Amino acid sequence: MKILFAASEAVPFCKTGGLADVAGSLPQALAKAGNEVAVILPLYQRVSDNWKDQMSFVCNIEVPLGWRRVYCGMFRLDKDGVIWYFVDNEYYFKRDSLYGHYDDGERFGFFSRAVIALLPAMQFMPEVIHCNDWQTALVPIYLKDECVRWSEVRGIKTVFTVHNIEYQGRYGKETLEDLFGLAPGWFTDGTIAMDGDVNLLKGALMTCDAITAVSPTYAQELRYDYYAHGMESVIRLNAGKVYGVLNGIDMERYNPASDPRIAANYSVLSKTGRAAAKDTVTPGKAQNKAHLQEEMHLNLAPDVPVIGIISRLVSHKGLDLVCKVFDQIMSLNCQFVVLGSGDWNYEQFFEAKLGQYPGRMALYRGYNEALAMDIYSGADLLLMPSKSEPCGLAQMIAMRYGTVPIVRETGGLKDTVHPYEAWCGAGNGFTFADYNSGDMFYVIRQAVDLYFNKPNDFQQLRKAGMTEDFSWDRSAGAYNEIYRTICS
């Protein structure tokens, strides 16, 4: 099939969050599965000159946006079986950050218009346009507007993926015609209206052919106000076209057997026959633990479990639960390492605890990818007690590196982490359901007990995580099914 993927960021060109990882990996996997795939992105100042030098100029056109006629250039780059198109307008995109500008609505209104207006110049008439988050939410709406008079685009279907429903593209009613160039009917019939405002996300949810959320559980959760940030009724109204597809991770980049970023490589040592049940992880894992303990000035204790947190330190990551029972956790025989930055109160909390637990607790405030890899490879347990988690990457990366996750059962955490079942040794981690510090502590203690008292079962959990399939190929298969369903 012919798929055009529209996004506001993608690895390796520009990244602020998880959307960039999806937009950087999924198109390749879709191409590998036999589709013709193109991606369209804004040409930000942040895209490095190295990439810009490899692009070729395709065309420039004028894009109508309300009463404006706006310059729009297009560049092209071919990479990994995917065509990458870049929309050029220096006024909108030559800025030092991707988002957070007073005119973001206008910038991404322009980008969404350009996605449609550039179709003839791409010589790539897609069967599906796959849009992502509020920045491309206007694409399905503009497409519906255009297809009244433009027969070539009439058959194009749209998929809209919700990566995080919190950001909705909400603007005053007056922007409808003046800024976005849409007829008043879109507002008066409620399609794009929410609480008296223009809501771009709602418009996309109402007009696209399929809505996907980044995990099956998140797709279910979006029906409830606790998770949907006011959009629950719109999701319920469109329930018949809502799907959940779990994101993947780059299984080659995150491969403990070959990753040059970690202290020692390791893998699952497979045994055959009767001994297979006793598969173990090769000794490299222990070397990584020693490296982590040394680097973070923790006691060099190979037999004490290390619990890690790698996270933005913000409230929806469930850190208030950790703060509440932190001393109880430290009363167990364990070490604790935190990597992250964010809210001042959490940073201060962990900072203050350092002096109380010398040699047993470590903290790095900030973003540090190298240290993240040391924790993924060196820790024994990774704690993610999130209030909500659309998909979550950290738990998948941790499992790939044999670090057993402890998570709350929400969103993608619930879909990827299956609780340890003592009676048969099944599962790949530890989970708790209610957002409650007592329940969280209960499973942390269970995990530490298992580490000390049933080391073989603990090894099995490591192995189960390391052998999970979190590849993008699996996600691409699920998206292919959805594309086929809406085009049939």
Distance of alpha carbon 63 from alpha carbon 227, whole angstroms: 36
The answer to whether 135 and 114 have CB atoms below 8 angstroms apart is no
Which span sits near ligand ADP by CB under 6 A: 45-53, 230-238, 259-267, 336-344?
336-344
Distance of alpha carbon 389 from alpha carbon 409, whole angstroms: 9
The answer to whether 196 and 245 have CB atoms below 8 angstroms apart is no
Residue 99's Cβ-side half-sphere holds a number of Cα atoms within 13 Å equal to 12
Nearer to ligand ADP, 75 or 346 (CB): 346
* Site membership for ligand ADP, residue 248 (CB under 6 A): no
Q: How far is CA 239 from CA 139, 192, 212, 285, 415, in A?
A: 21, 18, 11, 45, 20
Q: What is the largest CA-CA distance in the chain?
A: 74
String of contacts with ligand ADP for each residue 285-324, x by CB under 6 A: -------------------------xxx------------
Order of strands, sheet of 335-342, starting from the edge strand that comes earlier in the sequence: 361-365, 335-342, 306-313, 381-384, 404-408, 430-432
* Site membership for ligand ADP, residue 26 (CB under 6 A): no
* Site membership for ligand ADP, residue 393 (CB under 6 A): yes
* Site membership for ligand ADP, residue 216 (CB under 6 A): no
* Site membership for ligand ADP, residue 372 (CB under 6 A): yes
- Token pair listed for 173: 């009613």
Nearest distance from C-beta of residue 230 to ligand ADP, angstroms: 20
Nearest distance from C-beta of residue 372 to ligand ADP, angstroms: 4
Nearest distance from C-beta of residue 377 to ligand ADP, angstroms: 12
Nearer to ligand ADP, 216 or 425 (CB): 216
Residue 465's Cβ-side half-sphere holds a number of Cα atoms within 13 Å equal to 36
Residue type, 287: Q
* Site membership for ligand ADP, residue 6 (CB under 6 A): no
Nearer to ligand ADP, 47 or 339 (CB): 339
Strands 2-6 and 36-42: parallel
- Token pair listed for 415: 């879909």
* Site membership for ligand ADP, residue 398 (CB under 6 A): no
* Site membership for ligand ADP, residue 369 (CB under 6 A): yes
* Site membership for ligand ADP, residue 18 (CB under 6 A): yes
Nearer to ligand ADP, 11 or 61 (CB): 11
Distance of alpha carbon 9 from alpha carbon 46, whole angstroms: 11
Instruction: Determine the size of the site formed for ligand ADP (CB under 6 A).
Output: 16
Among 267, 280, 368, 467, binds ligand ADP (CB under 6 A): 368
Which span sits near ligand ADP by CB under 6 A: 148-156, 258-266, 288-296, 335-343?
335-343
Nearest distance from C-beta of residue 339 to ligand ADP, angstroms: 5
Determine the length of the chain.
488
* Site membership for ligand ADP, residue 210 (CB under 6 A): no
Q: How far is CA 301 from CA 48, 245, 306, 467, 468, in A?
A: 44, 40, 9, 27, 29
Query: Which residues of this protein are in contact with ligand ADP, per CB under 6 A?
Result: 17-18, 310-312, 339-341, 367-369, 372, 392-394, 397
